[in-house]
Structure 1
Amino acid sequence: MRVLERFEEAEGRKCGEISIGDLPGVKKLKKELCESQSLNESHIPDSLLERLVANGREFPPVSAIVGGILGQEVIKAISGKGDPMKNFFFFDAMDGKG
């Protein structure tokens, strides 16, 4: 995430204003950041950067799924029926699993 934030900052863009066409620049910045912080580049896989860049903006179906899960958890908390999640939910839009 820091790589993307730094890229957007360096390019003077707002959060989420990134596209797949920016991937070469993001990878170059990743290399520079890893070198400056003495990190191995394998700590930040290119496949992860590709996913983050490709999904830089909200995707309505994913927002609908996450919103539905959140609504379900609010109803559970208010009604006292069922155990709510343990304060964490991760939905991977690429795999379609949550």
Structure 2
Amino acid sequence: MTLSFLLQDALSVPWSALHRRMSKLYFAMRVIEKFEETEGRSVGDVSDADLSSVLKLKKELCTAQSLNESHVPDTLLERLVADTTEFPPVSAVIGGILGQEVIKAISGKGDPIKNFFYFDASDGKGVIEDISDSNTGK
């Protein structure tokens, strides 16, 4: 059996169609990704100096996507913009999860992570978000 989960399909789902309990990290990361793309920056090339522009873009994207701005807290964006360095313990956790997914793919045992995995180092919790047309809805 072959499974196919295309990143473009997941990224094209309108924000307003996603369930209300969607991780706020999803929206925050999409805002930062759009900022990097718009400004011609490489991944992770944001700093505190960019915060006002990122917050302005958040407002524009939320309006365009018909999403309440409370789904993308300013404090979360501030934290993500201010701390773009790699943190070895988080890298170890993510590496372990990636290794687990490779083993699942090779062995064909177990369901793979579908779409997105977010790990919040501040609380030590990981969240899997299935963002596809069949799993959207408020």
Q: In which range does the TM-score fall when normalised by the shorter chain? A: 0.5 to 0.7
Rg: which structure is higher?
Answer: 1
**Correspondence for 1:2 among 30, 52, 56:** 30
Deviation digits for residues 34-86 of structure 1 (CA, Å, limit 9, x no counterpart): 223333211211122223323434322311233345557878xxxxxxxx8x7
**Identity across aligned pairs (percent)?**
70
**Correspondence for 1:11 among 39, 59, 69:** 39
**Correspondence for 2:55 among 11, 27, 34:** 27
Structure 2: give runs of 5+ residues left out of the alignment. 1-28, 104-109, 127-138
Structure 1: give runs of 5+ residues left out of the alignment. 76-83
Structure of higher RCO (CA pairs closer than 8 Å, 6+ residues apart):
2
Which residue of structure 2 lines up, in the alignment, with residue 78 of structure 1?
none
RMSD between aligned alpha carbons? 3.0
**Equivalent pair of 1:62/1:93 in contact (CA under 8 Å):** yes
Change (3 A) 1:60 1:20: farther
- Number of aligned residues: 94
Offset of 1:13 from its aligned partner?
A: 0.3
**Equivalent pair of 2:101/2:112 in contact (CA under 8 Å):** no
Report which stretch shifted further, 40-49 or 6-15: 40-49
Report the structure, 1 or 2, having the larger helix content.
1
**Correspondence for 1:39 among 42, 60, 67:** 67
Report the structure, 1 or 2, having the larger strand content.
2
**Correspondence for 2:84 among 28, 34, 56:** 56
Whole-angstrom CA distance in 2 between matches of 1:28 and 1:73: 37
The TM-score normalised by the length of structure 1 is 0.64
The TM-score normalised by the length of structure 2 is 0.50
Whole-angstrom CA distance in 1 between matches of 2:78 and 2:37: 18
- Structure 1 residue matching 2:120: 3-state secondary structure: coil
